[in-house]
Structure formats: structure tokens, C-alpha cells
Amino acid sequence: MNDKTVDELLELCRHQHVQAQMEVYERYHQAMHVTALKIVHNTMDAEDIMQESFLIAFNRIDQYKGENNFGGWLKQIIIRKSIQHHRDQKKELKLVEELKTKTQDEPYGEVKNPIHQELLNALDELNPRYKNALSLMYLEGYDYEELTEVLQLSSVKEIKSY
């Protein structure tokens, strides 16, 4: 496959040719990872964004008309995905801060039960995404539908996958 042009590989990708997809990934993944990393400043997040973006690109390959450079088209997907991730992170951090402020005024802010305190400490160590979901559900009493709305998720299934 190394001897094929990008256009030839993309034509194969339109027919879900896995080897062609792998070759396209190999040719572009480093540059796309760098692009995502410049926006999100976290290697693991950049890796996730890059992989999700390649999946989007391969699923929407028919939308690429070949008028522009494929790398530029793919880069736009990476940039949009990275910016959305950055916005989502800001929202999650804001929610964590709101929860911290709220918990200081509520009864479970001062915990006398050592096991309960250990659970709260463990909760503080979680990724903000998981902490938010668990705090809202188990400390605030939100149900799945409310969590979907507050965390701006598309479905209850997405919450259950946390």
C-alpha cells in the first residue's frame, strides 16, 4: 500500500478498505496529534481526539470531495474536535467549582464518618468528568435524565458508559 497515492487510498477508504485506512492513519497521525496537542495541551486527550477524528473522517469520507488537500480537511476535523473538547473541559471545571462551593455549605461538607470521608477523598481524585457525574447522582440526587441535561450529553446510555 505504501506505493499508492493519497487519492488512491481514499478511494479504497470509501469502500471501507481497512488496510487503506491504516495507511492513511500512518501517513497523517503524527501531524494530527501535534495539531490536537497544541489546542488541548494534554497528550492523552490529544491522542483520543486524534483517534476520534480519524473515525469521523473515515465515516464521512464521502463528504471529502477532493477539492482541497485531504490533510487540510482532516486537520479541520481535528481542530473542531479539539476546540469542543477544550470547551467541554472548561464546563466540567466550572461545574466542579460550583459543586465545591455548594458542598462547603451543606451537611456532607463536614463528614464525621471516616468511611464517608474516604469516599469523598477518592471522589476528589477522579477525573472531573467522572467526579461530576458521580457527585451529581449520589450526592445531589440527580437522576439519569437530569444528568444528561446538566452534563450536556446526548443520551442516558452515554452516562451509563461513565
Beta carbons of 23 and 2 less than 8 angstroms apart: yes
pLDDT tens figures, 49-72: 999 999 999 999 999 988 789 999
Q: What is the mean pLDDT of residues 82-110?
A: 70
Question: Residue ranges of the domains in the chain?
Answer: 1-85, 106-162
Class of domain 1-85: mainly alpha
Global pTM value: 0.58
pLDDT tens figures, 111-149: 566 777 777 788 788 887 777 777 777 777 777 777 777
What SS3 string covers 106-156? Answer: CHHHCCCCHHHHHHHHHHHHCCHHHHHHHHHHHHCCCCHHHHHHHCCCCCH
